[in-house]
Structure 1
Amino acid sequence: MHTASDLGPRRRLSPGLSMRAVVPNAITAAALCSGLTGIRFAIAGDFEKSVQAVILAGLLDGIDGRAARLLKAQTRFGAELDSLADSISFGVAPALIVYLWTLHQVPSFGWMAALAFAICCVLRLARFNARLDMLDQPHKDAGFLTGVPAPLGAGLAFLPLYLWIATGRSEFGNPALVSLWMVLCAFLMISSIPTLGWSRLRPPTHLRLGVIALVGLTMAALLTEPWPTLVVVTIVYLLLIPIGLVTYARVRRQGRRSPTTPSPATPVAPAYDGPDAS
């Protein structure tokens, strides 16, 4: 009969998730379910609800990371779950929704465009996970993102659908043009283009009250006229991409001209709060 000592050292089981970690991960699971429900609505032909479900997934995705930081419940498990959920909600779901909407009319080219979008979204998230522990990230250190974040990439992919719903014009559902647009959105997600992050959006002090009012009016417009408002918001974000390029180039030039070299940053444990939160 063997005793415990005869069996050698036992592998210690890792503790389960704490209750604090359950909350942000439950929000991530809700975002995943919302994205999958968008596919269900698209199969039924209700494309308005399908887009709304993905937008809801994007809102939940923005909450889970902040909840994790607020509760001090950042975990590697949460980072991996968030990445997997994002790949489905903002990669697979938009690709299938747009394919079921119009790309199925050109099955070969349309399906390849949908695949390109889904694959590039997954590649973007994999690239982010691979860089979690890297200290040398020039874009992040300067307050910029690399490429278009996955939730915003899904929002860009839906632009023709927004226009189609808002105007009712069939031209916006042209499968060839929508296929090219999906490929462009896929490229923007995996590109190395520096895009503006939240830390870079700092309006001047004298304009901040106006910004608060503008945000309030935008929310009211989303409730009353959601589709034209989504078109405007998407176009504004597209215009911010070249602004981000110019701003990043200026920041890099100023960094090279600085007479003092900043000391290396002290290594810190990465905050696993979602692939596109930074």
Structure 2
Amino acid sequence: MILATADVTILGAGVFGLSIAFCAAQRGARVRVIDPNGVAQGASGGLVGALAPHTPDLWLPKKQFQLESLLLAREFWPEVERISGLPTGYANHGRLQPINEERLIALALSRIGDAETNWGDAAVWEVISASKAGPWAPPSATGQLVRDTLSAHIHPRQATKALGQAVLELGGVITAAGARQGAIVDARGWRGLVELSQVLGTEIGNGVKGQAALLDLARPGAAQLFAEGLHVVPHLDGTVAIGSTSERYFKSPDQTDGQLDDLIAKAKRLFPELRCA
């Protein structure tokens, strides 16, 4: 489809750019998305997709914004699937986290009231026995886990491709090059941040590389797990994603792969269910 003129031009066909394009197109705007690499070719082509909230205590505007975003996701992603006809991997199956110190049990219990106050009826924060969770659970030194029902997950690569198709279904255009017309939204990820920093003469952001692994293990419908900084996400397509590293080295695509090897080893040490995957 050729779009003669655009009301909105979005630079970048990742999850941010395409989400904006999707919402603008739903409201009747003529949308052009420009990305020389195509849909989901950057960070949005990743694997993990953990949508996890902050703790419900010490409430502040950022936590309120995050709460509203997570609740909006419950309607947003199914609508993307309906319009695109493609899966996004979205599921609201909650999260399990270990409580590894006795002194932290009281803190976790105190947050139950905070969740009731700040999350309302939308989600639950509770402390449960690890034995109640069964084999799909992080190991806990105290035998106790935090379970929340606000956490959700998507499959980033699938979700971004579904967004792209939804934009096309709504009459938008995704192209490798084109005129920048109307309102301009720069959503090019770390490359865009670097360029904007150069233009403005001050650093406004930079890139962080995150490596993740995808395991051939089917646990659809299970909660995501989080322990020692490691996310374990059971996707709906019969895979489990683990991640991720946090790196600022971009010069070589594989020079830091040893960090990913260490991450996989850590995941299999922490989570017995992953050891044969």
Q: Please say whether Structure 1 and Structure 2 have the same fold, judged by a TM-score greater than 0.5.
A: no
Higher relative contact order (CA 8 A, sep 6+): 2
Normalising by structure 1, what TM-score? 0.29
Normalising by structure 2, what TM-score? 0.29
Higher fraction of helix: 1
Q: Could you say which structure has the larger radius of gyration?
A: 1
